């Protein structure tokens, strides 16, 4: 049921991956699936572990405040190469190039991502009474993902790092959301799952953080958190 909007909170921002959406099969499954199309046999468990290590070790993307023209594709290309190297695979350039292009496009296809089960009820409760936005360290592939999952229409603003040229925790990405929604930091809640990029970054930007910490806490408590500011 919708509730009366508190005067204090005018907008709720959401992180995307890990907060609204996730990979039901896991990243290793998808890497193995695409590699197999190109004649490369890889172990799913090893791929998952290698991706986790490579993602954490990847160099931060440069924050310029200007849209990155390659939509972060070169950054992902380097990361995928590091994942394969960690799995003991050194592919010839023609094979790697074809596999990477297939893999990159795959993560924007229907059926790859899913919504957490509580997402739709939470969006339905909040959409009539608050402005909703997304602030994500993603690239333009997020737009078709949101369309496939049927939630794009809920958000008045979608701010992604590749377009802004700044990744969370850089405060410029939140400033872009405030400008798009016509709100201030003190009127805003940010819901996210990452301790630094979401929780700490929101606090530093003067935003009220809602800490998604699965499985202990998903988004189900967010409407009550919004009401608590009334």
Domains belonging to the chain, first-starting first, are 11-23+113-227 (3.40.50.1000), 27-106 (1.10.150.720)
Extract the residue ranges of the chain whose pLDDT is less than 70.
Answer: 1-7
Q: Cα–Cα distance between 177 and 154 in angstroms, integer?
A: 15
- Per-residue burial over 92-107, b if 16 or more Cβ lie within 10 Å, else e, is eeeebeebbeebbeeb
Q: Cα–Cα distance between 194 and 212 in angstroms, integer?
A: 8
pLDDT at 222 (0 to 100): 98
Do residues 185 and 207 lie in contact, with contact meaning Cβ atoms separated by under 8 Å? yes
Count of beta carbons in the 10 Å neighbourhood of residue 75: 18
pLDDT at 62 (0 to 100): 86
Model confidence, pTM: 0.94
Q: Cα–Cα distance between 207 and 115 in angstroms, integer?
A: 25
For 177, residues 6+ apart whose C-beta sits below 8 A from its C-beta are 11, 13, 133, 135, 157, 159, 188
pLDDT at 32 (0 to 100): 98
Backbone angles phi, psi at 50, to 5 degrees: -65, -40
> Which residues is 115 bridged to in the sheet?
21
* Structure-token pair, residue 163: 């377009």
């Amino acid at each position: 049921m919708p509730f009366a909007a508190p005067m204090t909170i005018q907008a709720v921002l959401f992180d995307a991956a890990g907060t609204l959406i996730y990979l039901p099969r896991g990243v290793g499954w998808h890497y193995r699936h695409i590699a197999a199309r190109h004649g490369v046999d890889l172990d799913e468990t090893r791929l998952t572990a290698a991706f986790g290590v490579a993602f954490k070790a990847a160099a931060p993307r440069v924050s310029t405040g200007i849209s990155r023209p390659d939509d972060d594709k070169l950054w992902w290309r380097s990361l995928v190469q590091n994942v394969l190297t960690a799995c003991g695979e050194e592919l010839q350039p023609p094979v790697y190039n074809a596999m990477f292009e297939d893999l990159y496009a795959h993560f924007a296809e229907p059926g790859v991502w899913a919504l957490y089960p509580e997402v739709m009820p939470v969006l339905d409760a909040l959409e009539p009474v608050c402005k909703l936005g997304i602030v994500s360290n993603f690239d333009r592939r997020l737009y078709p993902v949101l369309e496939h999952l049927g939630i794009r229409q809920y958000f008045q603003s979608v701010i992604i790092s590749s377009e802004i040229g700044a990744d969370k925790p850089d405060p410029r990405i939140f400033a872009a959301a405030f400008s798009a929604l016509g709100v201030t930091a003190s009127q805003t809640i940010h819901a996210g799952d990452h301790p630094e990029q979401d929780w700490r970054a929101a606090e530093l930007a003067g935003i009220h953080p809602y800490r998604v910490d699965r499985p202990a806490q998903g988004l189900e408590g967010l409407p009550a958190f919004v009401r608590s500011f009334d």
